[in-house]
């Protein structure tokens, strides 16, 4: 009987390890996010965070996604950007797989996550989905979405992917995997790569440009309130007075 229980335990353990992790993610799960529950609710989420949700809930195969059509298979359901003292976080939840989707003779691939580090409307960093999340920096050249070699959706989904750069380095962590029946693209970027910038914008779309996700984030540290500064000053004055009284004794 004991041997049978041990065998059952091994089988269950193997099933657990080999089963696809539908909720596995770098950080979205720890932020309390799951499909349909888009608000970060966990105290593990960074204090600076911005996100945008536009989930298509109609027919799986059609529907206007803005800027194009496509339904759930092309939907950008939510995008996130966050920061703490160590990392800059970016994430996209989408119905679009990393392998891309075929339409006729064309295969549309996922685009790169484009990041504007000083809010000048120039995307100067790219998280390269074709290269396992490698960070591309400096003198970036971008390709825009197209269908049959023609621009689509009036440029609303530009840019698509980076095709040239001067520098590259791997982000701290990267994932493009299954997430609650969809896919989550996530990257954690060491803030040392970002200099002293505190304002960021991010953008993502797929090769056909059917849907697009964008968000802006202010990572400026909070300024202490006057009342807090006053309490700090009183505390320092009280400490100094106490030291003088002790010295006199």
* Residue 32, token pair as written in the block: 């309390």
Q: What gap in Å lies between CA 215 and CA 90, rounded to an integer?
A: 10
Rg, Å, the chain Cα set: 24
- Best CA proximity match to 128, nearest among 139, 140, 146, 145: 140
Q: What is the pLDDT of residue 103?
A: 85
**pTM exceeding 0.85:** no
Burial class of residue 117, CB neighbours in 10 A (0-12, 13-18, 19+): buried
pLDDT given for residue 17 in this prediction: 30
Residue 90 has a pLDDT of: 98
Question: Shortest CA distance to 163 belongs to which of 147, 177, 142, 182?
Answer: 142
What pLDDT is recorded for position 195? 81
**Each residue's pLDDT tens digit in the chain (249 positions)?**
444 434 333 333 332 233 344 456 899 999 999 999 999 999 999 989 999 999 998 888 889 999 999 999 999 999 999 999 999 999 999 999 999 999 888 999 999 999 999 899 999 999 999 999 999 999 999 999 998 888 899 899 999 999 999 999 999 999 999 999 999 999 999 998 888 888 999 999 999 999 999 999 999 876 555 554 444 444 555 555 555 555 555
Query: What pLDDT shows up at residue 58?
Result: 86
Degrees (nearest 5) of the Cα angle 219, 120, 205? 85
Q: Are 216 and 200 in contact (CB under 8 A)?
A: yes
105 CB-side CA count, 13 A: 2
């Amino acid at each position: 009987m004991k041997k049978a229980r041990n065998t059952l335990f091994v089988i269950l353990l193997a099933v657990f390890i080999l089963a696809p992790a539908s909720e596995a993610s770098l950080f979205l799960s720890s932020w309390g996010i799951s499909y349909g529950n888009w608000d970060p609710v966990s105290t593990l989420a960074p204090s600076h965070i911005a996100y945008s949700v536009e989930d298509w809930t109609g027919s799986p195969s059609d529907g206007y996604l803005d800027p194009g059509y496509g339904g759930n298979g092309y939907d950008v359901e939510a995008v996130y950007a966050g920061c703490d003292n160590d990392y800059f976080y970016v994430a996209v939840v989408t119905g679009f797989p990393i392998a891309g989707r075929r339409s006729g003779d064309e295969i549309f691939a996922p685009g790169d996550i484009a990041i504007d580090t000083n809010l000048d409307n120039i995307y100067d960093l790219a998280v390269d989905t074709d290269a396992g999340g490698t960070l591309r920096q400096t003198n970036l050249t971008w390709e825009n979405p197209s269908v049959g070699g023609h621009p689509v959706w009036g440029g609303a989904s530009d840019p698509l992917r980076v095709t040239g750069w001067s520098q590259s380095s791997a982000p701290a962590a990267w994932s493009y995997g299954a997430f609650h029946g969809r896919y989550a693209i996530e990257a954690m970027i060491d803030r040392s790569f970002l200099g002293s910038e505190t304002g960021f914008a991010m953008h993502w779309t797929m090769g056909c440009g059917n849907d697009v996700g964008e968000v802006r984030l202010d990572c400026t540290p909070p300024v202490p309130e006057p009342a807090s500064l006053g309490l700090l000053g009183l505390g320092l004055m009280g400490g100094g007075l106490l030291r003088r009284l002790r010295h006199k004794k």
